């Protein structure tokens, strides 16, 4: 009786282990990757191109090098203000499928004034 119980427990563990391994292998083959951590990237600059149909904007960053980046947005993106070419914006984005996707866009220059007492 004890032997049958041990075989049953071992067989169950083996089946579960194989199922988990098969599932992990199918995700690896399909190319699905879960990021270890999602890190937001903040940018500020001027909108140089705007395509509302494609939900895409091109931003010339305010950083010293003035890099030009393409940012996409979706229905989950919080947009504060009205996007227009030539407007200053602040953008928080994450990388999704190799693209920078905005989670938040604020139209207007960044407030760089320090609070009093600092």
Domain boundaries, given as residue ranges, for the chain: 1-34, 41-107
The CATH H-level superfamily of 41-107 is: Copper binding periplasmic protein CusF (2.40.50.320)
pLDDT score recorded for residue 27: 44
pTM of the entire structure? 0.61
Quick one: how far is CA 32 from the chain centroid?
Answer: 14
The contacts found for 58-62 with CB under 8 angstroms, 24 or more apart, are 59/89, 59/91, 62/88, 62/110
Per-residue pLDDT of the chain (118 residues; tens, 9 = 90+): 555 555 555 555 444 544 444 444 444 444 544 454 568 889 999 999 999 999 999 999 988 778 999 999 999 999 999 999 999 999 999 999 999 999 999 999 876 555 555 4
Exposed e or buried b per residue across 5-23, where buried means at least 16 C-beta atoms within 10 angstroms of its C-beta: eeeeeeeeeeeeeeeeeee
């Amino acid at each position: 009786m004890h032997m049958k119980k041990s075989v049953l427990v071992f067989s169950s563990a083996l089946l579960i282990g194989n199922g988990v391994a098969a599932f992990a292998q199918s995700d690896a083959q399909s190319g699905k990757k879960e990021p270890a951590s999602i890190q937001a990237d903040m940018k500020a600059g001027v909108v140089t191109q705007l395509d509302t149909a494609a939900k895409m904007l091109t931003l010339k960053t305010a950083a010293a090098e003035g890099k030009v980046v393409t940012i996409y947005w979706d229905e989950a993106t919080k947009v504060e203000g009205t996007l227009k070419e030539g407007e200053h914006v602040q953008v928080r984005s994450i990388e999704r499928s190799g693209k920078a996707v905005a989670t938040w866009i604020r139209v207007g220059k960044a407030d760089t004034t320090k609070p009093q007492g600092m």
